[in-house]
Amino acid sequence: MKLSREKIAEKAEEIFFQQSLAEDGDPEAQNILGAKLASGNFVEKDEFGGLYWYCQALKKGYVNAKWNAGSMFLKGDGGVPKNTELAMMLIEEAAEEGDNGASHFLSICYAKGGYGKEVDIESSNFWREKASSGCESQEYGKQIDLESLIDIKLVKPAVKLKSELAEALKE
């Protein structure tokens, strides 16, 4: 799908606005910027940079960042070694604090067994009900200093538009 110059400019403005909010300490913006970097959505993909911003949001207890960071550790994304135990701790906290994606994931883990979970239909049903109830996730929960927890030092990444988008803005 080809985007118009105006749409690209709008997306660029949105990204750099989110970056400004993230740098000012807004955990929702930190999580959004982390997701953009981790996925390469309109910006150059930088999974480790995405993890940096998730970690900033985690320090404030931002629930959705737990699910996002947990997913990275579950798969070993972003140059981070796969760490199922840490991943499941983050995902379980996110689910307990109301994240629907994390609740749905736990439902599947208990239904099929996996990631350290034994098959437990009652638990699977509990998490499926929680996920499908559409209940609002609490925005903030337990704060986590992930960098200290796993003894890793993350550096704030540069946020760059994908080269083809940056070129289109120059035209």
Q: pLDDT per residue over 140-168, tens digit each?
A: 777 777 777 777 778 788 888 877 777 77
Token digits of residue 152: 């890793």
Write out pLDDT tens, residues 12-38.
Answer: 889 999 999 999 999 999 999 999 999
- Calculate mean pLDDT across residues 43-48: 91
How much is the pLDDT for 71? Answer: 93
pTM attached to this predicted model: 0.84
Check if the beta carbon of residue 64 is closer than 8 Å to that of residue 99: yes
In this model, does residue 130 exceed pLDDT 70?
A: yes
Burial level of 77, CB count in 10 A (0-12/13-18/19+)? middle
Share of the chain above pLDDT 90, in %: 57
Domains and CATH numbers, the chain: 5-99+137-170 (1.25.40.10)
